[in-house]
Amino acid sequence: VVARVYPDLDAALRPAAERSSAAALALLADEPAGGGAA
């Protein structure tokens, strides 16, 4: 629904959310307990 009402906003926020997820995964991969196997 949000994408229908605010397509530009959705398009602007989606890449930021993906970068945040990628950054979080990178931090988890750097954890010694993670073994670096991502």
pLDDT in tens, 3-35: 577 788 888 888 888 888 888 888 888 866 555
Model pLDDT, residue 37:
52
Taking CA atoms, 28 is separated from 6, 11, 21, 22, 24, in Å, by 32, 27, 11, 10, 6
Predicted TM-score of the model (pTM)? 0.45
CA distance 31 to 7: 37
Model pLDDT, residue 3:
59
Average pLDDT over residues 33-38: 52
CA distance 35 to 19: 22
